[in-house]
Amino acid sequence: MFDVVVIGGGSTGTAVARDCAMRGLKTLLIERDDIASATVGTCAGMISSGLKYMDEPEIVDLCSQEVVYFNKIARHIIMKNPILTPIFGMSDLSSGGNFAEEYSKRAAKRQVPPVLFLTPEDSLKIEPMLNPDLIASLYFEEYFINPFRLCILQAQDASVHGAEIRTYCEVVDIRLSNNEVKSVVFYDRVSGKKEEVSTRIIVNATGPWAERIAGLAGTNVELRLNKGAHVILDRRVVNVGVIAKAVDGRMIYLFPHESTVLLGTTAIDTWEDPDTLVTSHDEIEYLLKSMEWVVPSIRKARIIRTMEGVRPLIAEWKIPEGEVTRGYKIIDHSDEGVSGLLSFTGGKLVMCRRMAEDVTDVICKKLDIQATCETHIRPLPGNDSDIDVVSLAKEYKVSQHVVERMRTRRGTKTRDVLELVRDHPEWRTTICVCEPVIEAEIRYSIRNEYPRTINDLRRRLRVGTGPCQGTNCTYKIAAILSEELNLGIAETLIEMTRFLSERWKGKRPPFRGDLLAQEELVQAIYSCVGNLDREAIHEPNPWEEGL
């Protein structure tokens, strides 16, 4: 008997599992796919002060506070980036002023400078790629977090505190007795077996799927689902973030990230099955066209891929998406006559810890447990102290660049990974050259972070996310995964085509330029030489229906 079953392993669900476990509740987290496999993995990772939500000061306050906490508990997976908002017309200048005021009020607390107004000359000094017609720009700084690592670390910390984490398990039923939740039935996709667990409370943290899960208990949730797409470009077109007005007056952004830039995002109300969505041609052109005015060189960069997600917004209608509150709601379904089931609507990545705190407070009250929240004080795994990249690199004879990249994923746990090369010097070999990632970290991740597929490793390690999109490393990673997990042979080959298919999902919508050459190479390696087009046909993914 569990105290709490959390359904959904995104930012919200993993945060809830962590909080519940830390407060001593017997907790189970059930995720139908991998941790961070859905919405959270498609977001920009900005843990923002809320530029877009200046009309909701309480949300701005909340977000600012959360940033302060994240800086305490997860600083190894956080980066601060400067952002410019170029201004081309007088009307934008005044709205800029309002923003500057709200932002600056909270700046000191967040350890960022207040908003600066820059002249065109100074703006261009900071970012020479801007359209020189600007009349001024706003300069400020925002924090970004690695959303995958955040979820993985939250889940790991939850299990350190006694929670059970079950990935690849899909909830298929919620059973009630006397209008009270009694148990959760789920299907284990790896073993192929159905299981039932009893629980006192269920937290429905399934983001865009919340309506469906609520429906399993005969209850209702209403969401406003809104699709957002990103285009990822292969070089740092800009070296600072740029926020600009799109063709329709919405705000869009261009954020440098490692050696790439992220261009986003669109906002389209959707009623589609989120699993089948892909970015459309129109979305890509909308983003490029809009940013081209501000950063004229944008089309010179090569598109690496697109990615898309669905925002599970609170159901406010007849207003543009941008005006829908960014707040969240916890729905206690006892109002509908079913007790023990709590659902989330709305929210954002940046609020996930706070959302968890609120819902756990409600749970503790229901279960009559006295325990206070500590998720904002206790560090996530790897954040206990600083590490010295230079000396680690020397000690283990691994390049500094590799160790530095490792540090941004796992902080003090970097040493645990490097320890593996003592017995296996060959595991210093770089497997994913784009990122780069060495074999030791792949083995470590497989042994400690419960991935089942190459795609899961991508989320944990960024393998296969660079310009080559796994062309050169997929077969190598498949072999390692196969050895570590003892996969069958057919499964190993299919794992290669499955991962490359997932990559193809994001390469197909913007298919142009170098992407054609790259796909010719993928086909040459895996079909022409590897013969996998004849020997490893996988079950179609949801977005692949119809040839």
Ligand X SMILES: Cc1cc2nc3c(=O)[nH]c(=O)nc-3n(C[C@H](O)[C@H](O)[C@H](O)COP(=O)(O)OP(=O)(O)OC[C@H]3O[C@@H](n4cnc5c(N)ncnc54)[C@H](O)[C@@H]3O)c2cc1C
DSSP string, 346-413: E--GGGHHHHHHHHHHHHHHHHT------TTTSPPTT-SS---HHHHHHHHT--HHHHHHHHHHHGGG
Return the exposure string of 156-185: e unless at least 16 CB atoms fall within 10 Å of the residue's CB, then b: bbbbebebbbbbbbebeebebeeeebebbe
| Burial bucket for residue 94 (CB in 10 Å: 0-12, 13-18, 19+) | exposed
Which one of 237-245, 347-355, 407-415, 452-460 is the stretch in contact with ligand X (CB under 6 A)? 347-355
Task: State the nearest-atom distance from the C-beta of 34 to ligand X, in Å.
Answer: 8
**Main-chain dihedrals φ then ψ at residue 388, nearest 5 degrees:** -105, 95
- R_g of the chain, CA atoms, integer Å: 23
Per CB under 6 A, contacts with ligand X among 172-231 are 205-209, 213, 228
Q: Using the rule CB under 6 A, is 12 a contact of ligand X?
A: yes
Q: Which of the listed partners (ligand X, other proteins, none) does 530 bind, with a CB threshold of 5 to 8 Å by partner kind?
A: other proteins
Partner in contact with 279, chosen from other proteins, ligand X, none, beta carbon below 5 to 8 Å by kind: none
Residue 247 vs 537, nearer CB to other proteins: 537
Residue 326's binding partner among other proteins, ligand X, none (Cβ under 5 to 8 angstroms by kind) is none
Question: H helices of 250-306, where?
Answer: 281-292
Rule CB under 6 A: is residue 32 a binding residue for ligand X?
yes
Q: Report residue 39 as tokens.
A: 């919405």
Instruction: Name the residue among 146, 99, 129, 97 with its Cα closest to residue 408.
Output: 146
The binder of ligand X chosen from 5, 6, 46, 233 (CB under 6 A): 46
Question: Which among ligand X, other proteins, none contacts residue 66 (Cβ within 5 to 8 A by kind)?
Answer: none
The residue among 507, 495, 517, 441 whose CA lies nearest residue 469 is: 507
Binding string to other proteins for residues 254 to 293, with x set by CB under 8 A, is what?
Answer: ---------------------------x------------
Give the footprint of ligand X on residues 74-103 (CB under 6 A): none
Mention every residue, 6+ apart, whose C-beta is less than 8 A from residue 99: 51, 54, 115, 138
Residue number with CB closer to other proteins (121 or 539)? 539
Q: Given candidates 239, 525, 530, 543, which one binds ligand X under the rule CB under 6 A?
A: 525
Q: Position of tokens 């040459």? A: 524
Residues forming contacts to ligand X in the complex (CB under 6 A) are: 7-13, 30-33, 37-40, 42-46, 170-171, 205-209, 213, 228, 264-265, 309-311, 347-350, 521, 524-525, 528-529
Residues forming contacts to other proteins in the complex (CB under 8 A) are: 281, 425-431, 438-439, 472, 475-476, 478-480, 482-483, 488-490, 492-493, 496-497, 500-501, 504, 508-513, 516-517, 519-538, 540, 543-547
